[in-house]
Structure 1
C-alpha cells in the first residue's frame, strides 16, 4: 500500500483507510464483532485474499483488533478499536452524501449491516412527530431493535421485550419498503415480509425514512 507522503492529517487518514474495501470493512464492524466469514459474507465482491490483506493493515494501524470468543463459541472475531469506532460519523456522512447521487445504484443488492446503517442515516425525525414506538426487525437470523422517542431513532442489534410490531423480512425487501417506498401490502402478499402486532404502526415506521433530494438530475426509481 502506497503512502500519499503528505503531512496533512486527511492524507494520513487516507493512508490508513483509503484502500478499496477498507471503509466497507469498517462499516461491517460498526454493529459489532464478526468472524472473518461474516465480514466476507457482507462484502461478497471482495476476495478472501484482499479482505485478509485489508484486515491485517487495519489491525496494524490500530483500527481493528482480533480476539477469541470464550467457549462454547471459541472462534476469532474482528472488532473495531475505540479509535476505529470514531469512523462511524464518517461512514454516516458518506451514506448521506452518497444517497444524494443521481446515479446511485438503487437496484443493486445490499447487505444487512448496510441497510441498518442506511436507515440510521436517512431517518426523518419530522415523520415521527408525537410517536413513541418500538419495532422489532428480524432480518434472516438477526434481530434489531428500533425504538423511537421524542423524534429520535435508536436502531441497534438486539431484541425488544414488548414491541408494538415485529417485521420479519430480508435486507433487500427492507430497503425497498423504506427508501424504495414499496407497499407493505405488496410485500406481505408476495411473502417477502411478515408482520405481527400492529400493522398500521409497522407501516408508519417504514415511512420514516427518505432518500434526500438528488444532487443533480432526477434519479431512476426502484424497479418494483
Structure 2
C-alpha cells in the first residue's frame, strides 16, 4: 500500500506519515485502552466508514504499530493490539490529549463522548505527583458510560467497564449533561455526584486527576516559553 510522504528526513515528518492519516490516532487511542475486535473499534469510533477502518488497520499493521492476536479462550476471533512500537506512542498520545483538553470549549452539536475518550482523559489528566505512594480505585458511571481507574503505589491503570476488583469508591454523575471529562470533573468538584464509598476518596480523585495548571498545556519536551 503506497503511503504519502513529506519528502523530509525528519522524525516528526516520519511520524506523521505513519500515524497522521484521518482516524489513525483515534484507533491508536482506543487500542491504548485494551486490545479490541474490529467490531469493538467500529462501535467505539462512531462515524468511521468501514472501509476507512479496514484501511487504517492495514496501514498500521504494515507500519508495525498494530498487530493481530488470537483471542484467548473462551473468546474466539481476532483482536487488534498495539505492538511494542505502538505502545511507545502512548506518552505522545497522552500529551496531545492533554493539550487538546485545553482547546475543547463547549461540546459542539453532533459530538459524542465515548468510553475510550474518557479513559484517555483520565490518562492525560493524571497527576503523578499527587498520586505518589497512593493505592486506590474508582469506578465512574456517567449516563451509559462506565469506566474505572486504579492507582497502585502511584501507578495508573484505567479501563473501560466496571473495575476488575471491588472499587474503593463508585462515582455516579447525577446530571443529564453529556459525560465529557470537564463536565465530570466539574460535577465532582461541585458535589453533583452520588458516592458509594468514602467521601474523602472523591477529594483524592479530584487531586489525582487534575494536572497543575502550569503543566496543563505543555507537551513534554517542548521548549519553554
- TM-based fold match above 0.5: yes
Contact map agreement 2:173 2:187 (CA 8 A) in 1: no
Q: What is the aligned partner in structure 2 of residue 219 from structure 1?
A: none
Report Cα offsets for 1:183-215 as digits up to 9, x if no partner. Answer: 564343xxxxxx322133234413543374787
Determine which of 110, 113, 132 is the counterpart of 2:113: 110
CA RMSD of aligned residues (A): 3.1
* Residues matched between the structures, number: 203
Report Cα offsets for 1:163-194 as digits up to 9, x if no partner. Answer: 4322356995372222x345564343xxxxxx
SS of the equivalent of 1:155 reads strand
Unaligned runs of 5+ in 2: 218-225
Instruction: State yes or no: 1:100 paired with 2:106.
Output: no
Determine which of 184, 194, 200 is the counterpart of 1:177: 184
Unaligned runs of 5+ in 1: 189-194, 216-224
Contact map agreement 1:166 1:196 (CA 8 A) in 2: yes
Displacement of 1:89? 1.1
Q: What is the aligned partner in structure 2 of residue 218 from structure 1?
A: none
SS of the equivalent of 2:179 reads helix
Q: What is the aligned partner in structure 2 of residue 57 from structure 1?
A: 59
TM-score norm. by structure 2 comes to: 0.74
Contact map agreement 1:133 1:148 (CA 8 A) in 2: yes
Contact map agreement 1:134 1:160 (CA 8 A) in 2: no
Cα distance between partner residues in 1 of 2:52 and 2:35 = 19
